[in-house]
A and B are shown apart, each in its own frame.
Chain A
Amino acid sequence: MRAAEERLFDAELAEVLGVSVEAVAEPGAGRGSPRRLWLAAAVALFGLAITFAVAFASAAADRVEAQDPESLEPPQPLPILFWQSGSAPPAVATQSLMFQLGDGDLSPLSRYERLQNLRVFAVKPGRACRAGFFAPLVPLAQLEVLRVVVPAAMGTEVLRELRGLEHLRFLSLDLQRPLTVADVAALGEIHGLVSLGLEAQNLGAGDLGAVAVDAAAMRALSDLSHLQALRLERLPGCTAATLRELRGAHGLRRLILVGFGTQPVATEFGWQPAEDSAGFTADIARALAELPLLEDVWLEACAVTPAALQALPVGLRAFGLTGCPDADAEVVRAIARFGELELLRLDRAQDLNDQLGRPRAADAEPPRDLPDQRAVARAQAELVRDLPIRELRSDYGLHEEVAAALADAGQLAVVELIRSGATDVSAVAAVPALTRLTLNQCRVHADDLAPLRPAKALRELRMVYCNADRAAVTSLLPGVAVTFDL
């Protein structure tokens, strides 16, 4: 970053001489003369050509998930394999693994040198973890994503061993004991940690109070200098006062809150919130507004009011409201105030029944307390039509009104449909500037993708856990880079 160094010197010299920075900025210093720019462009083009050639050659031999170093999306190479300790291990080449811990020993994992994404379950919540527990993971040089249970008996010293994982960037802790200030300090020793999840997923409602996060621990998170994303799931103690302690976390860009407050309909679906939470309140929103860099808020399974959304920073670039079936049209409409929104995450509440495996007749009535879904659909459609979103992620299918609005979403270029069907694919085909489409767990056949053929701007189609025939899809969409992750 010689250019930044030169700018620093220019700014300092300008201050010393009492002149504007323009007066001291040398065109040839740090910015490049026209001749240098041409040379730089030529070198860059040459480098680009070599990069493409190398990438093309290596892609055929060994496909590795590319990861933008700036991205806050954890890499998730597919397929994700499951391995229960004591059973036969999966293929050695796997990059994503869910490991059920049997005897408190992670050493069987050291064979997976290419492991990028690992989730560790514990059989017994109270199982002790001795010193050296994480040591078998240290040789895994590509491990970027780790989700691990923190049993009640796991001490801070054991957590500190995570600093040995040099490439770890995304860490989620499923807490079975409170997070202490010392724990957070230990996490601060993980050099590249950009994303942290704190969850209390696997405890019963009566046990949740035992893991409540306090203000001191939350304040300590501010010392994680590289932290850019934080996920708090069903964690007791996350009041406005506690969350306000995050205001020292100057680098925090993304906040994902899950399980804040009771929603009657969601409870019917079996989702339990943090037992002491009053929901995503205006007070909490005002606390979040004190985070200087916050640009992405995702509320999942939260009780939300329009007033709370009104209290969030208006300049958000990304917002999500999913798993919130109790949110009515007024809540959805309040999202419209985020006039600079680039990424929007939505879902369709009625189809949540599918997630539970409940058979639902075509003429089935929605759950009794579900808000008016036609009004919700109209509000969602207004967002899609009126906000300058470039990216839309939709779960459980699109309302008809939303599907119709896609044709008017002039800046929309990237769409991900999760658990959708063929009708939604047809609707997405009408997006004028669609360049990238991901179909994730969608019920589609190759023929269902025919409406995408006229989508002139479409360059990439990713099929994740879809059953469509590969050859048929590829031949149907010439010029589109189609990838399959099964």
Chain B
Amino acid sequence: MNRHQPRLAPRAAAMLRRYLYVLGAHADRLDDLVQDAFVIALEKRPEDRGEAAFGAFLRAIGKNLVLRERASARRRREVELADQVWRERCGDGDGDGHERVAALQECVDGLPAQSRRLLDARYRDGIDRGALAAEFGLRPEGVKSALRRVRDALKRCVERRLAVGRGA
């Protein structure tokens, strides 16, 4: 076991899980793919790499694993394009996207109480739209619209925070 692993693994695993999902890996497969990627990566002397390089190495392995499950050129192309999206959003090379997650955490924490309750009730507690409609005094379609507005607000919030962080 390498000296980086106890500190690296949880963050790197979370990063890899997000990356694999962006590439189009099915949610059911994420755990297996993350485990496979770690097994391959840890066989190849990760102690020789820095933390950031190890993350990039993990993503390269993860991408390879996803590509191997994509037989057609079109689907492999989709993986490449998704990888490009990751690079653009999370940084080419060393970027692990943690900055975005931290920004999103702050944005979620700053949501108005009603929006936060809606988010938790739907996504964390798994309450269906009908029950939420009754609780919030909305129609079921209205719940969907409200969630979409919350999500859009969070996306804008993340972009604003990142822009501020970059000094834009």
Write the residues of chain A forming the contact surface with B, with a CB cutoff of 8 angstroms.
Answer: 1, 3-5, 7-26, 28-29, 68-71, 225, 247-248, 250-251, 290, 292-293, 295, 315, 317, 340
How distant is the Cα of A19 from the Cα of B122 in the complex, in angstroms? Answer: 11
- A-B pair count, CB < 8 Å, reads 112
How distant is the Cα of A69 from the Cα of B80 in the complex, in angstroms? Answer: 11
Enumerate the 3 nearest inter-chain pairs by beta-carbon distance, A residue then B residue, closest first.
A250-B60, A11-B18, A4-B82
DSSP class of B's interface residues: helix, strand, loop or mixed? helix
Q: Judge whether A18 and B124 touch: CB under 8 Å.
A: yes
* A106 CB, nearest partner CB in chain B, Å: 33
Q: Judge whether A290 and B18 touch: CB under 8 Å.
A: no
Residue of A nearest to B107 (CB): A16
How distant is the Cα of A101 from the Cα of B44 in the complex, in angstroms? Answer: 46
Give 13 pairs: A residue, B residue, CB < 8 Å, sorted on A. A4-B23, A4-B85, A9-B151, A11-B18, A13-B108, A13-B151, A17-B108, A20-B27, A26-B151, A68-B73, A225-B92, A247-B44, A292-B63
Inter-chain contacts of A7 with B (CB < 8 A)? 21-22, 24, 82
Inter-chain contacts of B84 with A (CB < 8 A)? 1
Q: Judge whether B123 and A1 touch: CB under 8 Å.
A: no
How distant is the Cα of A13 from the Cα of B103 in the complex, in angstroms? Answer: 11
* A462 CB, nearest partner CB in chain B, Å: 19
- Indicate whether A11 sits within 8 Å of B105 (C-beta atoms), given known contacts A4-B81, A18-B124, A23-B124: no
Q: Judge whether A293 and B124 touch: CB under 8 Å.
A: no
Does B118 count as interface, using CB distance less than 8 angstroms?
no
How distant is the Cα of A68 from the Cα of B80 in the complex, in angstroms? Answer: 14
Q: Judge whether B22 and A69 touch: CB under 8 Å.
A: no
Inter-chain contacts of B147 with A (CB < 8 A)? 26
| The residue from B68, B81, B148 contacting A1, defined by CB atoms under 8 A apart | B81
Q: Judge whether A21 and B27 touch: CB under 8 Å.
A: yes
* A456 CB, nearest partner CB in chain B, Å: 23
* A154 CB, nearest partner CB in chain B, Å: 30
**How many residues of B are in contact with the other chain, CB < 8 A?**
52
| The residue from B27, B104, B154, B155 contacting A25, defined by CB atoms under 8 A apart | B27
Inter-chain contacts of A68 with B (CB < 8 A)? 73
- Indicate whether A292 sits within 8 Å of B77 (C-beta atoms), given known contacts A17-B119, A21-B21: no
| The residue from B14, B30, B123, B148 contacting A17, defined by CB atoms under 8 A apart | B123
Inter-chain contacts of B23 with A (CB < 8 A)? 4
Q: Mark B95-129, 1 if CB is under 8 A from A, else 0.
A: 00100110011001000000000011001101000
How distant is the Cα of A9 from the Cα of B154 in the complex, in angstroms? Answer: 9
Q: Judge whether B77 and A70 touch: CB under 8 Å.
A: yes
Q: Judge whether B119 and A29 touch: CB under 8 Å.
A: no
How distant is the Cα of A47 from the Cα of B73 in the complex, in angstroms? Answer: 19
Known A-B contacts: A1-B84, A4-B23, A293-B63. Give 14 more (CB < 8 A). Answer: A5-B89, A8-B21, A11-B21, A13-B151, A18-B124, A70-B76, A71-B73, A247-B44, A250-B57, A250-B60, A290-B44, A292-B60, A292-B64, A315-B68
Inter-chain contacts of B155 with A (CB < 8 A)? 9
- Indicate whether A29 sits within 8 Å of B63 (C-beta atoms), given known contacts A17-B124, A70-B80: no
Q: Judge whether B124 and A1 touch: CB under 8 Å.
A: no
Q: Judge whether A293 and B14 touch: CB under 8 Å.
A: no
Does B67 count as interface, using CB distance less than 8 angstroms?
yes
How distant is the Cα of A251 from the Cα of B60 in the complex, in angstroms? Answer: 7
- Indicate whether A293 sits within 8 Å of B64 (C-beta atoms), given known contacts A15-B18, A70-B77: yes
How distant is the Cα of A1 from the Cα of B23 in the complex, in angstroms? Answer: 11
Q: Judge whether B104 and A12 touch: CB under 8 Å.
A: yes
* B11 CB, nearest partner CB in chain A, Å: 10
Inter-chain contacts of A24 with B (CB < 8 A)? 123
Per the 8 Å Cβ criterion, residues 59-86 of B in contact with A are 59-61, 63-64, 67-68, 73, 76-77, 80-82, 84-86
How distant is the Cα of A9 from the Cα of B123 in the complex, in angstroms? Answer: 13
Q: Judge whether A70 and B101 touch: CB under 8 Å.
A: no
Inter-chain contacts of B126 with A (CB < 8 A)? 23
Q: Judge whether B104 and A16 touch: CB under 8 Å.
A: yes
How distant is the Cα of A315 from the Cα of B92 in the complex, in angstroms? Answer: 27
How distant is the Cα of A22 from the Cα of B122 in the complex, in angstroms? Answer: 12
Residue of A nearest to B79 (CB): A4
Inter-chain contacts of A247 with B (CB < 8 A)? 44
